[in-house]
Amino acid sequence: MKRILRRTHGAVFLAVGCAVLPASAQTNFTLQGKIVTIYVAGGAGGGVDAYARTIAPFFSKYMPGNPAVNIANMPGAGGAQAVQYLYNVAPRDGSAIGSTNAGPIAQPFLETSPITYELNKMHWIGSLARGNTVCAVWHTVDVKSLADARKKVVTVASTGARSAPTRSALLMNSFMGTQFKPISGYTGGTSLLALERGEVDATCTTLNSLRTTRPQWLAEGKLRILVHVAMEVDDEYKDVPRAIDFVENPLDKAALDFFLLPYEFNNPYYLPPGVPAESVVSWRKAFDETMKDPAYAAETKKRLQEVEPKSGEAVEKLVQQMYATPLDVVKRTISASDPTGKVTD
């Protein structure tokens, strides 16, 4: 936990040290003749990948120099591999950006092994959605409710031993007495194939991802949604309970709130440390222009992608909020969601 304390105490300094030019500033930055790569912390066919492929042409449209934009999928370690690559290896000239789900955002706080990136040294471009995670079983599985999930083991496809699906499932076990059993080793896309094939019983993923990649499952009732692991109930599933409403202990409630905070800026886009300040301004402006573009809105509607954007500045504040979380809350989140239950001092 000393690692977390060091990062917490350093948050204010880093927030000041990473200040960039105002978004309205004029710059000479250009990516003309370069190829931009979006490093997606997830496999092809998953929700993060789908959102990135939709926005890529608009980044090309609005970035100075109109660069070509490619997608590079890095699903390893629940997506942390992509974040670590961007942070430590990728070019620092503004031609490399990342996008991720909530798992790698939480990992610097919850991981007991070393993580080689720091969120408050990254430059945040903006985020596309609010996470609306649900735990849902395949329609043929003999589990009709949370009460049933407390009585029998329910296998859950997961992307990593400490990824967001694993931690969501284990938090439900710790706080609600369910018997979810995460099975690691899948990507965002293959986890859904595993569910369809009967390899596993359930998934803990966002409704946004399901609506984008498997809308027919929701339309045809192929999934039975048991619980919202989210701050708000989705309008289409108002009868499905929220996990937080079952949690009475104040520390456990605070731990679940902390776990859900990264979902407030789901599908974020970010730059590594050391990029020119002008590139951050250009990327934030391109993101903001894309969010106002009717053609982008039409494309997301066609692809059933719900968009609730946040600016780079807003995402940065949420990251700072994570670093300000009391240590006892972080420890409780770790003990409740880590497969080993291990908390190091």
Domain boundaries, the chain: 2-130+265-337, 133-259
- Lowest average pLDDT, out of 23-32, 33-42, 44-53, 88-97, goes to 23-32
Q: How far apart are CA 170 and CA 341, in angstroms?
A: 10
Strand 223-229 and strand 133-138: the pairing is antiparallel
Pick the CATH number of 133-259 from 3.40.50.1400, 3.30.500.10, 3.40.50.800, 3.40.190.10: 3.40.190.10
CA 93-163-121 angle, 5° bins = 30
pTM over 0.85: no
Q: What is the pLDDT of residues 44-70, one digit of tens each?
A: 888 899 999 999 999 999 999 999 999
pLDDT of residue 24: 53
Integer Rg of the chain from CA: 20
Q: Higher confidence at residue 26 or residue 329?
A: 329
Token code pair at residue 296: 């982008």
Beta strand pairing call for 180-183 and 35-40: unpaired
Q: How do residues 206-242 score in pLDDT, each as one tens digit?
A: 898 899 889 999 999 999 999 999 988 999 999 999 9
- d(CA 107, CA 121) in angstroms, rounded, equals 15
Q: Count the residues in the chain.
A: 345
Which one has a higher pLDDT value, 22 or 140?
A: 140
Q: How far apart are CA 317 and CA 296, in angstroms?
A: 26
CATH number at 2-130+265-337: 3.40.190.150
